[in-house]
Amino acid sequence: MSLEKIAVVGASGYSGEELLRLLIRHPGAELVAVTSRQLAGQTIAQVFPRFAGLRYADLAFIESDVEKIVATGARIVFLALPHGVATEFGRPLVAAGLRVIDLSADFRIKDVAVYQDFYGEAHAAPELAALSVYGMPELYREKIRSASLIASPGCYPTSIILPLHPLLQRGLIQPGSIVVNSLSGVSGAGRNAKVDYLYVECNESLRAYSVPKHRHLAEIEQELSLAAGETVRISFTPHLVPVNRGIHTTICCAPAEGVEAWHITNAYTEAFGREPFIRLLGETGLPDTKHVVFTNFVDIAWRHDPRTGRLVLLSAEDNLTKGAAGQAVQAMNLLAGLPETTGLL
């Protein structure tokens, strides 16, 4: 099997590090470049001691320069950059004929007005946002295969869209009734030296944040609205809790008239029963992030509550794997024509 040549731009954060963890062991990929402004010249092992002794340990970071990246022969490029910076690299790389998988939010929002509302500035590249495919294989598998630009989904969105999509698509729940509460590990805040994310500030601490308007709502509602065929607005409260990795999401919503528990079970089986990275725990199981961390799985369970008539949907994922780098590699496998689970099980 000839290996797909891969570059990673901006691998200094937690998502970039997770990408490296996956690519190092990926049997179908050849990592030809890692780039970073501040790390150029250092090897992967120097920057990430955990990767010493492994494949690519001695690969040195190069400058994040488009020409240099193209010169490496890379065919697929991951962008693991802060919000707002991805456009700068995405445009010339796509123009140069490389296929780009962006882990930031830059290309996820199709409606530039929504983007401006949530991100507080005009969209820098509407034509790329229009071109991009939302990189969730369970929803857009075929489009991903032929895409030139993948907007890889956010961590919260993955944990929220997947449990809701099959139900909204089938009209099984009332779109206006959705209340979402998510818990996230601290790696979700990035490798940023801020007092708020110091060990002592996060350990033995439980707190909500970005109430009531977290930026991820933009892409969540975009995809849920597409599923429902109508505008969906949800309540979403994210919480920061003291684990390194993992997101747990709990969703309350009202079933549509006449919907019973078995309709829900059937919908999930139909939509996800053959998905390699969705594990359906059914009406008795309960997700636990400790069973999904360091994997690309999303675990989903559901309950009907006869007391209130509501449904409770629950999901767990690793925010850095299925919620970021793992899902991006899943998309890469599709782009490269590899079996979708390559390097991910």
Cα–Cα dist 319/163, whole Å: 15
- Smallest gap from Cβ 242 to its own copies, in A, equals 6
**How many residues of this chain interact with its own copies, rule: CB under 8 A?**
78
Among 40, 59, 60, 179, binds its own copies (CB under 8 A): 179
Set 155, 202, 252, 253: catalytic member: 155
Q: Say whether 155 is catalytic.
A: yes
Confirm or reject binding of residue 233 to its own copies (CB under 8 A).
yes
Among 246, 255, 323, 326, binds its own copies (CB under 8 A): 246
Confirm or reject binding of residue 206 to its own copies (CB under 8 A).
yes
Which DSSP state fits 323? I
Q: How are strands ordered across the β-sheet holding 29-35?
A: 29-35, 4-9, 76-79, 99-102, 149-151, 133-134
Confirm or reject binding of residue 239 to its own copies (CB under 8 A).
yes
Confirm or reject binding of residue 259 to its own copies (CB under 8 A).
no
For CA atoms 255, 222, 138, 215, the dihedral sign is: negative
Cα–Cα dist 159/314, whole Å: 9
CA dihedral (7, 9, 11, 14) in degrees, to 10, reads -110
Return the range that interacts with its own copies (CB under 8 A); candidates 61-69, 138-146, 211-219, 323-331: 211-219
Confirm or reject binding of residue 37 to its own copies (CB under 8 A).
no
Neighbours of 68 (CB within 10 A): 14
Among 82, 146, 209, 269, binds its own copies (CB under 8 A): 209
Query: C-alpha angle with apex 316: 194 to 198, nearest 5 degrees?
Result: 15
Cα–Cα dist 27/25, whole Å: 6
Query: C-alpha angle with apex 226: 223 to 231, nearest 5 degrees?
Result: 95
- Smallest gap from Cβ 71 to its own copies, in A, equals 29
Confirm or reject binding of residue 293 to its own copies (CB under 8 A).
yes
Return the range that interacts with its own copies (CB under 8 A); candidates 53-61, 136-144, 146-154, 259-267: 53-61
Cα–Cα dist 90/242, whole Å: 34
Among 154, 163, 166, 287, binds its own copies (CB under 8 A): 287
Confirm or reject binding of residue 116 to its own copies (CB under 8 A).
no
Return the range that interacts with its own copies (CB under 8 A); candidates 3-11, 35-43, 143-151, 207-215: 207-215
Confirm or reject binding of residue 168 to its own copies (CB under 8 A).
no
Among 277, 326, 335, 340, binds its own copies (CB under 8 A): 277
Residues 6 or more apart whose Cβ sits within 8 Å of residue 102? 78, 79, 81, 86, 90, 132, 149, 150, 151, 152
Confirm or reject binding of residue 114 to its own copies (CB under 8 A).
no
- Smallest gap from Cβ 221 to its own copies, in A, equals 9
Q: Record the tokens describing residue 294, joined without a space.
A: 């360091």
Confirm or reject binding of residue 35 to its own copies (CB under 8 A).
no
Among 59, 60, 252, 261, binds its own copies (CB under 8 A): 252
Which residues are marked as active site?
155
